[in-house]
Amino acid sequence: MVQTFHTTTEKAAKRFQDELKRIYYVTPTSYLELISTFKTLLAEKRSEVAALRDRYSNGYDCLIGTENKVNVMQKELEDLQPILVETGKETEEQLIIVTRESEAAEKVKASVGLEEADAKKIADEASAIKLDCETELSAAIPALKAAEDAVNCITKADIAVLKGLGKPPPDVKNVTMVVCMFMGKQPESKMNPETQKKEKDYWGPSVKMMMDP
């Protein structure tokens, strides 16, 4: 294109001289200046693209970190569910025992006074455990919702920018490698130019995976 611009300008300069009798010089310096201008614009655009890439990369890393935290909280909630159920059963059983002992205490109040106090203590402890579990559950639900909203904000444009990276940063490659493992994608075997050894590479399968809507 630079050659085309240069030769076209030479033709236009000749016509300019023929029709208007004015001379416009097209020199090798003009050719070099055109190349220099192109290099300057190319550097500016590369800088802009790199800034966009870094912003999306950082945002993607934050989303992955949030997803990991959500998975941990979800596992904790799942682990707490059986405890809540078991605690509820134990509380009901203790309440039945307390009721029976209270009825018996009307007849033999002096002999069962100590047992009634012990039963009440057990019931209070069970209720406290249940309350703690419910408090933790209610506190975790908003965080889970916020994490889901954060993951849902990823757009097709974000994925398009990611899969368009010619030479992705190491952090991006690590994240997409893990996603490929979760999705059951097999790596490609490529030669590492530095070590001259074949290594597993997940970037190719990652790009193919991101092509799937």
Q: What is the arithmetic mean of pLDDT over 152-156?
A: 83
Residue appearing with tokens 């190349």: 35
Give the pLDDT confidence of 78-137 residue by residue, as tens digits.
Answer: 889 888 888 888 999 999 999 988 888 888 877 667 787 888 889 899 889 998 888 989
Give the pLDDT confidence of 44-56 residue by residue, as tens digits.
Answer: 999 999 999 999 9
Q: Is residue 205 part of a domain?
A: yes
Q: Is residue 27 part of a domain?
A: yes
Number of domains in the chain: 2
> Does the model's pTM come out above 0.85?
no
Range of the domain at 208: 155-213
Q: Is residue 192 part of a domain?
A: yes
